[in-house]
C-alpha cells in the first residue's frame, strides 16, 4: 500500500460521519412531521398510531447514534474534535427523544381537543428540524458555508424565542380559563414537553455553532 492510498483511507473515515449526521437529522424531521400531525389530531386511536410511528423513528435514531459512536471509536482522524462529534450525536438523539416524549404525553393524556397554540409550537419544532437537516448537510463544506450555517443556527434560536412567547401566552390563558383540573394538568404537561423540545433544538444548534466557530 503506497502512502497516498494510506492517507485516502483516513479521508474516507473522516467523511463517513457526515452522511450519518444527515440520516440522523432526516429521521428527526420525519418524526417532527408526525408530531405536528398528532397535535392536529383529535381521534384517540389515531393519536396512538402516530405515537407508535414516532417510537419507530426513535428506535431508528438510536441505531444511527450507535453507528456514529462506532465510527468514532474506530476512526484515526476525525473531521472535528472527537468530543464534539460525540456530543452532537447525543444532542441529536436527545432532540428525537424529546419529540418522542411530547408524542407519548399526547397519546397517554388524550386531551379533549387540539389547541391552536400547541399546534403552532409543533409547527415551529418541525421548522427547527428542517433547519437541522440543512445544517448537517453543510458539514462536508463547513469552511465554505460557515456564515450560512451560523445564520441557520440563529434561525433556530429565533424559533426557540418565539416558542417561549407562545408557551407563556398559552399557559397564562390555560390557568385563567380552563376550569377542568384534569384537563389543565394534561394540557400543561403536553405544553411543557413541547416547549422543552424547542429548548433541546436550540441546544443542538448551539453545539453546531461551536463546531463551526472552531473549524471555520
- CATH code for the domain in which residue 119 is found: 1.20.58.220
- Residue closest to 89 by CA, chosen among 207, 195, 193, 197: 207
Alpha carbon distance 202, 183 (integer Å): 29
The pLDDT, as a whole number, for residue 75 is: 78
Which domain, by its residues, includes 119? 3-215
The pLDDT, as a whole number, for residue 216 is: 82
Alpha carbon distance 149, 141 (integer Å): 10
Residue 15 has pLDDT above 80, yes or no: no
Confidence of residue 12 (pLDDT cuts 50, 70, 90): very low
Confidence of residue 5 (pLDDT cuts 50, 70, 90): very low
Say if residues 128 and 159 touch (Cβ distance below 8 Å).
yes
Confidence of residue 11 (pLDDT cuts 50, 70, 90): very low
Give the CA angle between residues 117, 119, 120 to the nearest 5°: 60
Enter the pTM of the model: 0.92
Residue 165 has pLDDT above 80, yes or no: yes
What's the mean pLDDT in 113-129? 96
Say if residues 21 and 136 touch (Cβ distance below 8 Å).
yes
What's the mean pLDDT in 117-127? 98
Lowest mean pLDDT among 68-72, 160-164, 173-177: 68-72
What's the mean pLDDT in 177-192? 96
Q: How many domains does the chain have?
A: 1
Amino acid at each position: 500500500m503506497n502512502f497516498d492510498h494510506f492517507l485516502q483511507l483516513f479521508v474516507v473515515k473522516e467523511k463517513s460521519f457526515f452522511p450519518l449526521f444527515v440520516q440522523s437529522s432526516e429521521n428527526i424531521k420525519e418524526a417532527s412531521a408526525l408530531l405536528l400531525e398528532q397535535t392536529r389530531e383529535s381521534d384517540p386511536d389515531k393519536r396512538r398510531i402516530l405515537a407508535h410511528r414516532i417510537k419507530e423513528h426513535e428506535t431508528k435514531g438510536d441505531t444511527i447514534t450507535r453507528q456514529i459512536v462506532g465510527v468514532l471509536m474506530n476512526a484515526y482522524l476525525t473531521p472535528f474534535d472527537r468530543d464534539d462529534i460525540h456530543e452532537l450525536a447525543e444532542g441529536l438523539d436527545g432532540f428525537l427523544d424529546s419529540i418522542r416524549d411530547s408524542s407519548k404525553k399526547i397519546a397517554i393524556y388524550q386531551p379533549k381537543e387540539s389547541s391552536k397554540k400547541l399546534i403552532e409550537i409543533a409547527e415551529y419544532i418541525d421548522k427547527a428540524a428542517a433547519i437541522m437537516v440543512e445544517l448537517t448537510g453543510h458539514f462536508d463544506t463547513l469552511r465554505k458555508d460557515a456564515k450560512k450555517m451560523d445564520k441557520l443556527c440563529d434561525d433556530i434560536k429565533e424559533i426557540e424565542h418565539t416558542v417561549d412567547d407562545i408557551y407563556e401566552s398559552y399557559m397564562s390563558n390555560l390557568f385563567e380559563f380552563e376550569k377542568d383540573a384534569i384537563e389543565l394538568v394534561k394540557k400543561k404537561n403536553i405544553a411543557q414537553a413541547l416547549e422543552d423540545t424547542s429548548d433541546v433544538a436550540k441546544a443542538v444548534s448551539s453545539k453546531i455553532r461551536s463546531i463551526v466557530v472552531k473549524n471555520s
